[in-house]
């Protein structure tokens, strides 16, 4: 490893170390009244990590490749259902179901990619067609018996390492963190690879990239497949954590929105954008819920999402390169 | 799976589809108009419709205004709302960059939808009016009166919108901006003003659509989602930016939805719409009637 290589991965190591040490601070955070208990903290952190993973998936096609999908729920949901259905209906072990869920998600990504890119759909058209695919999946999942239909699929609670169900709440946190860490490294590798350069070239100017001999269709297909596979892992982890999935969770518009908001707010086409964005969005959303709850004495639905929407508009207006870009320009001054 | 129905039931489904389709067309008109001029997809369109539907609800429950009479105050109100939204939020926040506009309107839809959720909660509400369940007896088919009225008014509004675009100076300016933004600017048209007027017109058509929908439909904060994809489908089918296309597309989609609901059942009924949407996008993204990509 050259010193340059080490430097490139140092920030990832530092970030992961900081996150890995976070559980040590739990007694302090709970003591300060920020969380009701260790479980509340871990559930929130695991949720953030799962969204980060989905967003990291989106970021590969959307951030580096400029292919804005509004329907990553199609991949998240496929992963989530695969994880649930393989275990409950086919008796597949949870650990074995995970790569299968990833592969299925990737396959769905490849198929949608082939259809959309061969039809030369770009920009808003690509966004709309992915959204429509996700809706078709949602309706189908809601109506077919294999997914449990409208009742959804419940994964039975059987705590044990072999079932990927853990007694200690920190265990699942570290599992999700390991996946996030893996994708952070993958993104850095991608950035430094020839494929990554082609992908960015496609984003910046597809026609020019093609003129220079880049097989843009192949590059976009690879990107959407990888993107979908990673987002499917997020779905599988979601099922494994919450042990329940239905059509509106798995294929609902909410996850498509989370998957694209986090990278856009954090910093599109950057290694840390999805992580930073997910933490900012979900953190601020939770804070808003708490404040409103304290002010009105009862929970008001939708407050966290209003914060998401306002944050998105503010980021587009004042920080088009996201929070990462904002931090960089502040640090550079 | 496919049952056969007597022709009368199929005919009734087709007629009902046409009636719903006209209101879909009205919802889609605003979307296609904004697309034609600003060349962007207004993602907040569905949420704006939901807002309008709640406005009709409040007007009726709070002030006792009949939904059809609510057209009179709500249409100018929504025109102003749309104008302001484009002029003071969307345009400055997105710097008129296409990708950014899509995201800003997505942000707006999230904000609107969830503000409505915070205020009205997630309950589904409907208006009960003395004519809600009135029917028109054609002899061979029974049609819901509110839907027949909706059909008629929707056609009139579409014609009116067409007349505004074809005959008025503002309409000519809108068409000029749609065709050649820079050229329009150079001959002295205030492009930003025209953008905002177009957005205002789109919002105004939504207000009318909401007034027509409320007597026979329900409302909850998420209802816009159901309409927005239908509206996109209508717009894509009819050709982005084409008024006549939106009208025809709306009618086609209404009939498709009605028939697939009849043959596939309620839960799978909407799938026909999305499949058409995907197929049209993949096979002929310029739409059936439009020329512009």
The answer to whether residue A312 neighbours chain B at the CB level (below 8 Å) is yes
What mean pLDDT is predicted for residues A199-224?
95
pLDDT-derived band at A63 (thresholds 50, 70, 90) equals very high
pLDDT value at residue B233: 87
pLDDT band, residue A196 (cuts 50/70/90): very high
Instruction: Give CA A179 to chain center in angstroms.
Output: 11
Spell out the alpha helix ranges (H) of A192-302.
194-204, 206-211, 216-242, 247-250, 253-266, 273-296
Q: Is residue A66 part of a domain?
A: yes
Contacts of B102 in chain A (CB under 8 A): 68, 123-124, 127
Say how far apart CA A329 and CA A332 lie, in whole Å: 5
Whether A121 maps to a domain, the answer reads yes
The structure tokens 């856009």 sit at: A264
**HSE (CB half, 13 Å, CA atoms) of B39?**
12
User: Does a structural domain hold residue A259?
Assistant: yes
Does any domain span residue A120? yes
DSSP A36: S
Structural domain count, chain A: 1
Cβ separation of B229 and A124 shorter than 8 Å? no
User: B231 and B24 in contact (C-beta within 8 Å)?
Assistant: yes
The DSSP element (H or E) to which A245 belongs, if any, is: strand A244-245
Residues of B with CB under 8 A from a CB of A: 40-41, 89, 92-94, 98-100, 102-104, 106-111, 113-118, 121-122, 221, 225, 229, 232-233, 236, 267-268, 270-271, 274-275, 277-278, 281-283, 285
Residue A205 has pLDDT above 90, yes or no: yes
pLDDT digits (tens, 9 = 90+) for A217-256: 999 999 999 999 999 999 999 999 999 999 999 999 999 9
pLDDT tens digit sequence for B133-166: 888 888 888 899 999 999 999 999 999 999 999 9
Is residue A315 included in any domain, yes or no?
yes
Q: What is the mean pLDDT of residues B250-274?
A: 85
pTM of this prediction exceeds 0.90? yes
Joined tokens for residue B189: 């048209």
The string of DSSP letters for A51-96 reads: HHHHHHHHIIIIIIT----S-THHHHHHHHHHHHHHHHHH---HHH
Provide the residue range defining the domain that includes A216. 40-331
In a domain, A16, yes or no: no
Band (pLDDT 50/70/90 cuts) for residue B89 is very high
CATH number at residue A217: 1.10.3470
Q: What is this model's ipTM?
A: 0.90
Interface of A with B in 30-69 (CB under 8 A): 68
User: Which of B47, B54, B106, B221 is the best substitution to test chain A (most A C-beta atoms within 10 A)?
Assistant: B106
Q: Is B137 left (phi over 0), alpha (psi -120 to 50) or beta?
A: beta
Decide if A134 is inside a domain: yes
Give dist(CA B251, CA B21) in Å, integer.
4
Contact B208, B71 (CB under 8 A): yes
């Amino acid at each position: 490893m050259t010193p340059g290589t080490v430097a490139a991965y140092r920030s990832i190591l530092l970030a992961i170390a900081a996150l890995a040490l976070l559980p040590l601070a739990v007694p302090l955070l709970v003591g300060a009244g920020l969380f009701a208990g260790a479980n509340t903290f871990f559930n929130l952190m695991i949720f953030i990590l799962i969204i980060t993973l989905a967003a990291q998936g989106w970021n590969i096609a959307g951030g580096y490749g400029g292919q804005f999908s509004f329907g990553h729920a199609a991949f998240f949901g496929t992963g989530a259902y695969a994880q649930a259905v393989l275990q409950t209906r086919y008796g597949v072990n949870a650990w074995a179901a995970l790569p299968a869920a990833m592969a299925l998600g990737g396959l769905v990504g490849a198929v949608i990619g082939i259809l959309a890119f061969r039809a030369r759909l770009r920009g808003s058209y690509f966004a709309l067609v992915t959204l429509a695919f996700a809706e078709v999946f949602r309706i189908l999942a809601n109506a077919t018996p294999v997914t449990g239909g409208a009742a959804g699929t419940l994964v039975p609670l059987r705590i044990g390492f072999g079932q990927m169900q853990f007694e200690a709440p920190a265990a699942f946190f570290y599992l999700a963190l390991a996946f996030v860490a893996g994708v952070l490294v993958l993104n850095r590798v991608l950035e430094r690879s020839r494929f990554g350069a082609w992908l960015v070239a496609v984003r910046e100017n597809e026609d020019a990239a093609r003129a220079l001999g880049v097989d843009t269709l192949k590059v976009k297909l690879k990107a959407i497949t990888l993107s979908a596979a990673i987002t499917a892992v997020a779905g599988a982890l979601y099922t494994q954590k919450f042990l329940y999935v239905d059509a509106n969770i798995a294929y609902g518009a909410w996850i498509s929105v989370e998957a694209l908001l986090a990278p856009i707010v954090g910093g599109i086409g950057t290694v840390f954008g999805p992580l930073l964005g997910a933490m900012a969005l979900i953190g601020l959303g939770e804070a808003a819920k708490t404040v409103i709850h304290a002010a009105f004495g009862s929970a008001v639905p939708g407050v966290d999402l209003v914060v998401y929407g306002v944050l998105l508009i503010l980021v587009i207006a004042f920080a088009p390169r996201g929070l990462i870009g904002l931090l960089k320009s502040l640090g550079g001054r | 799976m496919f049952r056969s129905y007597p022709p009368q039931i199929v005919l009734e489904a087709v007629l009902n589809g046409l009636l719903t389709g006209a209101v879909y067309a009205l919802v889609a008109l605003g979307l296609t108009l904004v697309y034609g001029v600003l060349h962007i997809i207004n993602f907040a369109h569905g949420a704006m419709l939901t807002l309008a539907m709640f406005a009709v609800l409040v007007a009726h429950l709070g002030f006792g205004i009949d939904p059809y009479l609510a057209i009179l105050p709500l249409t100018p109100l929504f025109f102003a709302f749309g104008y302001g939204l484009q002029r003071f939020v969307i345009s400055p926040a997105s710097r008129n960059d296409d990708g950014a506009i899509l995201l800003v309107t997505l942000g707006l839809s999230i904000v609107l939808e969830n503000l409505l959720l915070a205020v009205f909660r997630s309950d589904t509400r409907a208006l009960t009016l003395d004519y809600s369940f009135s029917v028109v007896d054609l002899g061979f088919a029974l049609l819901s009166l509110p839907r027949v009225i909706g059909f008629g008014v929707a056609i009139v509004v579409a014609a009116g919108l067409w007349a505004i675009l074809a005959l008025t100076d503002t309409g000519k300016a809108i068409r000029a901006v749609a065709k050649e933004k820079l050229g329009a600017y150079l001959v002295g048209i205030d492009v930003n003003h025209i953008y905002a007027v177009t957005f205002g017109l789109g919002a105004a058509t939504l207000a009318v659509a909401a007034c027509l929908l409320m007597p026979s439909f329900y409302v909850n904060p998420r209802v816009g989602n159901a309409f927005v994809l239908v509206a996109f489908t209508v717009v894509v089918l009819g050709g982005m930016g084409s008024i006549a296309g939106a009208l025809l597309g709306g009618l086609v989609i209404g009939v498709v939805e009605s028939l697939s609901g009849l043959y596939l059942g309620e839960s799978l009924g909407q799938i026909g719409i999305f499949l058409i949407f995907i197929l049209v996008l993949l096979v002929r993204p310029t739409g059936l009637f439009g020329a512009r990509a």
